[in-house]
A = this chain, B = another copy of it.
Amino acid sequence: MKPRENLDTIHAAALEVFADYGFKKATLEDIAAALGMTKANLYRYARNKRDLYENTVRWALLRWQARVGEAIAGERDVERQFRVMCRKAVEYLSGDAHLSRLLMRDPEIFPMFAEQDPYADINRASMAMIRRILERGIAEGRFRTVDLASVPEILFSIYKMFIIRMYIRTKDRPLDSMFAQTVELLCRGLVLPEPPGGPAGEPQASRRRP
């Protein structure tokens, strides 16, 4: 038998099937068929159906997180870093058709909205990333000294933007402008009015109304 390189193939297939049918209606045989193998073999990769599901979501969320991380790695200026983080987070989340469909389909498991979030650790990682940006912004004197307890709220905003984007996708609303406005609002609470002498990073164009 051809050895299967890694779990990625299984997770990718499972993600698609779960996104198509939701947890309940998706069957292990659907997933196995998509992979060209029998359902019994799936038990080598997950203890049971629920496990396969959670592992899959976890895998997809981590991939999403990693992409956002890469996107902001190149940014030198904190303000830009913050903006890119917000934009990319929503972009990738709604861009990955399967992940977004999955998150919309089984709302009871949507991170941060479930009674007890099975993906709390992943959200924690996201929040750590946000916190790092805030801390750096504050240290560089670019951001106000905000309470770091507001970090979860920023992540929450991002999810909210994603949901809105998903639900109104069919209509051709000027969503991106609405989205930009939200990011703008977040920034206005963060970024200091005018950096006195120009700090570490080169002066970024930060459109702000007078």
Instruction: List residues of chain A with CB under 8 Å of any chain B CB.
Output: 21, 25
Contacts and interface: CB of A to CB of B under 8 A. Distances in A.
Contacts of A25: 21, 25
3 contacts: A21-B21, A21-B25, A25-B25
The interface residues of chain A, by DSSP majority, are classed as helix
A21 B105 CA distance: 12
Q: How many identical subunits does the complex contain?
A: 2
A21 B21 CA distance: 7
Contacts of A21: 21, 25
A146 to B, nearest CB: 39
Nearest to A24: B25
Nearest to A21: B25
A119 B25 CA distance: 28
A64 to B, nearest CB: 20
3 closest pairs, A vs B, by CB? Answer: A25-B25, A21-B25, A21-B21
A210 B120 CA distance: 67
Nearest to A169: B170
A140 B25 CA distance: 56
Nearest to A170: B97
A193 to B, nearest CB: 40
A9 B25 CA distance: 25
A15 to B, nearest CB: 18
Nearest to A26: B25
A21 B27 CA distance: 13
A25 B17 CA distance: 13
Nearest to A22: B21
A98 to B, nearest CB: 13
A62 to B, nearest CB: 25
